[in-house]
Amino acid sequence: MSEPDVLTGWQRAPFEAHGVRHEVLRRGTGPGVVLVPELPGATPAVMALANRLVDAGFRVAVPSVIGEPGRAPSGGYLAGSIARMCVSREFAAFARRADRPVARFLRSLARDLHAECGGPGVGVIGMCFSGGFALAAAAEPAVLAPVLSQPAMPPPIGAGKVATGLSAHEEAVIARRVEVDGLCAMGLRFTRDRAVPDERFETLAALIGPGWRAFEIDSSPGNPDGIPARSHSVLTDPSAEVPGHPTQRANDAVVAFLREQLTG
């Protein structure tokens, strides 16, 4: 069941583009930020992040690309969301490096949010399976601040360790934007997260160049903050609102990056 309190104040309406239709939740005022949920969907933890962004002065749009907004996570819910993602044509084509309908949908949503909010451009935050979608969305000129939190797709097996999840076309556009526009991007991860290996961040650093902002949290054995090696979700970690905790500092760093890129 959903938890209505985390959805209080959010406007809900469908948005359709490129044959893809999803409900989008919007709230806040200020520069626009698209927040793409992690699996299994827009959970209370994801919506808490969305509300923190609203409180920080952003107009936030949360597309419900998978799952049910506000529903608490569970083993069965997670398994069902993974199964739906695996069979959906929206998310297909990672292995073939082809464009995915969901990436085109997110670029259209970013354009729509930019038209609504005005200003120089918008930010896009992706997490876990949607982490790479934030960078794919930056093939849209309106996207000035892509944030990749624990980008875990494609699976880091073999050549997948260095893969960004971008299509060949998206990668070429991003490279051109880096060179011509000075595009910057931010990446976050726990250092011992097997889903986000060192090699992936090295590939992203090479693609983005000086504009790559990496925020890596030590999760090695004996780390001073006692962070477990299995830690994965950075921005929605249970300690994300604990003052001084590395994940709280990560949230602050994302807000600072968005302000820098979207307001100057």
DSSP assignment letter at 231: -
Q: Are 61 and 26 in contact (CB under 8 A)?
A: yes
**Residues near 162 by Cβ (< 8 Å), separated by ≥ 6?**
199, 200, 202, 203
The pLDDT mean for the chain works out to 91
Strand partners, 189: 216
Per-residue pLDDT at 74: 82
Per-residue pLDDT at 151: 96
For residue 110, the SS3 value is helix
Per-residue pLDDT at 39: 86
Per-residue pLDDT at 234: 98
- Residues lower than pLDDT 70 in the chain: 1-4, 82-83, 85-98
Per-residue pLDDT at 40: 87
Continuous H helices in 40-191 = 44-55, 75-87, 101-117, 131-137, 168-181
12-69 confidence digits (pLDDT tens): 999 999 888 999 999 999 999 999 999 888 999 999 999 999 999 999 999 999 888 9
